[in-house]
Structure 1
């Protein structure tokens, strides 16, 4: 006889409570990590998509675990939840989107891609206008980038190339990652954005995969005033991606052809100008409103002088749900991404309670919703703190630790940007694990997980994963190529559960070290993220270059 999902969650969540004892050094159990991953990644939870019953069961499971541990509720109204109001925006299948360039009409999917967008108050959109080309669309006085000089984008579409300018150094290109070019376009009065995908970009922008992504519903959080993402919609009403065929149509009759633009981009010699062809973008959408909770537990700090400072240990709870269009297995179980991160966060939280010793600063444990929809739960929490007096001073985010091998190092993406780096390194050393630099700087993973929502609020943060040593690189890259965001990310993979317990211990040690350190974590002087998002905050001297 199958037990109802909620009762199953409660029964599993209560099991560890009977084992809690007050000891100086807590234990870390591979069996507990395994049990949590197997439940969270089970078919019964149907991929834990934000707003679904499966996610709700997962959230109740985490809340019950927090309660059994003895944490204090950190959600709204004295509960465990912070409900995140979401809007799900889907394309109207009866009226697929299109982009007309001059006299040529392109339906979304073949030569142009247009997603559902986020204009929830415009069910039927028809946006037309002239177009100006603005190079790559980045503005930076320090890098000498001023693409809007000499053109008037007000009331027009702007066309820009994907990627970053070729004449910049890798460090300068990385400095532009995370910059929102739509915001820049909106500041110049544009009404639409056209992203131009060159043939050489298709390796990093596979058209068929992108087409499937843009056809899916898009989700965002909505504030009390109905603004998506908490911001007024502004001037940008619509956007699209164009392949070479559509780009050639767009540049017909202009002072440069698409091929000439591509060549100029390679030479780093782009200039901005008005195009001859007007465009008409059409899109119909269907909007569904829903809520999905962040789950929050608090361990109050012991030192009155710094107890109002909070260290955030986070992991996203959601995954990609069910795809009924797939043949065979249709459930994205998300065992590694991110049941593994959530399970190790829970084991670290349990260890704090087992130790019987509260750290100086408070610790907030959060299972976040809607990460897969665009870091929505973390962004909502960062912009709507449940307790504004609980000053978050650092975030350690756990997302997709690859628990397939006995790792001997960890990577803390972003460690080089703040004093969290040495703290993480010292804590990891206590577990005989080294801290390695970012092994994939070209992926710029620092801006691609939940911690970045807190970075944008000026909070020093790191994103922690298992490292590349001792067979880790092969395991990590194989997982990315074979199982990442696929239905095969499930518990029949060859998990190393001892590695899960080890990862939980390291995160316990890191969170404890940050919570007990004398000085509040700080950005380094001159760091791009600290200067951009926390310009007035105290900074630490940058370490000398090796």
Structure 2
């Protein structure tokens, strides 16, 4: 097992159990002088500053940018701002002679009738749109009508051979609607061997559950909302799964997807499950060998659909490497947010200051730091601002499926999303800790900043699958997603966690996610930007490729990719 160690910026690698002479040789190859790395500190301090971050955040999160929704005037202003910023700091276009990568999308507005009718057991239940349920369709069509579709309780909606788990075993879902639970069977149990216990796997994500229901041939799929295992309250579902939605274009107009995909509130779901005489539904769903349960109820739902096909843009720039220009480190952040939506307290602009003007600002400041280096790094460093993250990681997914730079020559991804504003932090929280050797690089720099590293304390919420680094991981590229968010240096853990929870409940995906100069302290954002720069800088000057660790579900994908011509 290879492990990386750092001492004053000198990259020392050894293989346990190897002869001393080999150890010495590897030191000679991998080491960079202390003075060489320290030479970046001055431009780093000049390039990444609180005023610089503040300027970018204030601009991108201003009402003028209209919430940065793709296909709107907000997108035009945003991508022009990013192009100008990259050009001004002297970075090259990242896609040939262009700063843009076109991302073909379809925008679908699917509006359900005000009630969804459920009939059976001698009763009729009417569920109200937004209050009790939400529903969308990915199909490019004018109208969706679901009539008398049998509801089937399908547990967690998971088919996972490696866990010997099949929630659809023995049932033909044609013409039926799956009702499934959010997260994994292990969540909320004391059994760490049941899936991954409280740590969410990809099987727990709503995206997977929609995909699997379609693979099973279901007509529809409804996820039962529950705040704790979902990681967000019902108001987030209301704002994120209503109105216009974006999807990547497909040749068949997404006809292979379910006719509709939706959520139902926990209270309404309990009403339906009681009507179906299904008791202890959570306990049953957690039991190995669970079989789907027909509910004896049928759903009737209509959606009026309008759509348009258009193209959004990823924005990409680079600094070409001086020694190995055909090897790449990619920094990423999503530039988009939710645009203009339902007014809340008289405000209809979902500005997305933290989510993700903050990460985009850090991307620009890190890019500025690389541009000011007197000597280009050995490897090429790429800066990728992606579109449509809020619609399902679409911009990064498109890039991963249509890479500008070969996947097997891409060394690592460093992603920035939601960099907090609570001041200097003692911690560095790594989402997906234990997945790859990038953790070791981050820990080394964190120690230099007198910070400690912790795994994501909310691993049950599946944050590893909820930002753009996951698109890179899915194709095998080691990815780092880390920032300080656990312990503010002066206020401590309890205060910090209370503030984080307050923001999540009040501001996440709401118009109130705005920049507030009196509340925002950007010292920790600078701290994180410096750390992420140094991680990328060190990797950009090495010859080795960071690897996925044993037990990572992405290790085999990477090994296959690297073995390909």
2:213 is the alignment partner of 1:189: no
Match of 1:271 among 288, 291, 303: 291
The 8 Å contact of residues 169 and 291 in structure 2, kept in 1 or not, is answered as no
* Residues 83-136 of structure 1 deviation map (CA, whole Å, 9 limit, x = unaligned): 22222222347x446344347363542785232221113534335444443322
- Please state whether the residue corresponding to 2:367 is helix, strand or coil: helix
- Please state whether the residue corresponding to 1:331 is helix, strand or coil: strand
2:552 is the alignment partner of 1:523: no
Q: Tell me which residue corresponds to 1:177.
A: 204
Sort the Cα spacing of 1:188 and 1:71 in 2 relative to 1 into closer, same or farther, 3 A: same
Q: d(CA) in 2 for partners of 1:192 and 1:181?
A: 11
Q: Tell me which residue corresponds to 1:325.
A: 343
- Please state whether the residue corresponding to 2:160 is helix, strand or coil: coil
Sort the Cα spacing of 1:431 and 1:248 in 2 relative to 1 into closer, same or farther, 3 A: closer
The 8 Å contact of residues 507 and 513 in structure 2, kept in 1 or not, is answered as yes
- Please state whether the residue corresponding to 1:159 is helix, strand or coil: strand
Q: Tell me which residue corresponds to 1:142.
A: 162
Sort the Cα spacing of 1:71 and 1:197 in 2 relative to 1 into closer, same or farther, 3 A: closer
- Please state whether the residue corresponding to 1:325 is helix, strand or coil: strand
- Which aligned pairs between 1:23-422 and structure 2 lie closer than 5 A? 25-26=42-43, 27=46, 28-75=48-95, 78-92=97-111, 95-96=113-114, 98-102=116-120, 104=124, 106-109=126-129, 112-165=132-185, 169=192, 171-172=196-197, 174-175=200-201, 176-178=203-205, 180-196=208-224, 206-207=233-234, 209-223=236-250, 225=251, 227-228=253-254, 233-234=255-256, 236-242=258-264, 243=266, 245=268, 248-249=271-272, 257-262=277-282, 264-265=284-285, 270-304=290-324, 307-323=325-341, 325-388=343-406, 391-422=409-440
Q: Tell me which residue corresponds to 2:471.
A: 453
Stretches of structure 2 lacking an aligned partner (at least 5 in a row) = 1-38
Stretches of structure 1 lacking an aligned partner (at least 5 in a row) = 1-21, 540-546
The 8 Å contact of residues 317 and 367 in structure 1, kept in 2 or not, is answered as yes
- Please state whether the residue corresponding to 1:294 is helix, strand or coil: strand
Q: d(CA) in 2 for partners of 1:113 and 1:141?
A: 31
The 8 Å contact of residues 421 and 522 in structure 2, kept in 1 or not, is answered as yes
Deviates more, 1:456-465 or 1:284-293: 284-293
The 8 Å contact of residues 41 and 339 in structure 1, kept in 2 or not, is answered as yes
- Please state whether the residue corresponding to 1:343 is helix, strand or coil: helix
The 8 Å contact of residues 99 and 108 in structure 1, kept in 2 or not, is answered as no
Residue 506 of structure 1, CA deviation = 1.5
* Residues 214-268 of structure 1 deviation map (CA, whole Å, 9 limit, x = unaligned): 3322221214x3645xxxx32522234345556655775x6xx133535534777
TM-score after normalising by structure 1 = 0.82
Residue 203 of structure 1, CA deviation = 8.8
Deviates more, 1:336-345 or 1:293-302: 336-345
Residue 38 of structure 1, CA deviation = 1.8
The number of aligned residues is: 504
- Please state whether the residue corresponding to 1:348 is helix, strand or coil: helix
The 8 Å contact of residues 332 and 414 in structure 2, kept in 1 or not, is answered as yes
The 8 Å contact of residues 301 and 362 in structure 1, kept in 2 or not, is answered as yes
* Residues 515-538 of structure 1 deviation map (CA, whole Å, 9 limit, x = unaligned): 22332121112223435x546357
2:510 is the alignment partner of 1:486: yes
Q: d(CA) in 2 for partners of 1:508 and 1:324?
A: 38
Sort the Cα spacing of 1:374 and 1:141 in 2 relative to 1 into closer, same or farther, 3 A: closer
Q: d(CA) in 2 for partners of 1:481 and 1:249?
A: 27
Q: d(CA) in 1 for partners of 2:230 and 2:402?
A: 38
Sort the Cα spacing of 1:319 and 1:210 in 2 relative to 1 into closer, same or farther, 3 A: closer
Residue 394 of structure 1, CA deviation = 1.3
* Residues 50-100 of structure 1 deviation map (CA, whole Å, 9 limit, x = unaligned): 22212321211111111122211113x62111122222222347x446344
The 8 Å contact of residues 99 and 282 in structure 1, kept in 2 or not, is answered as no
Q: CA RMSD for the aligned pairs?
A: 3.2
* Residues 192-224 of structure 1 deviation map (CA, whole Å, 9 limit, x = unaligned): 2233457x979966445534543322221214x
- Please state whether the residue corresponding to 1:287 is helix, strand or coil: strand
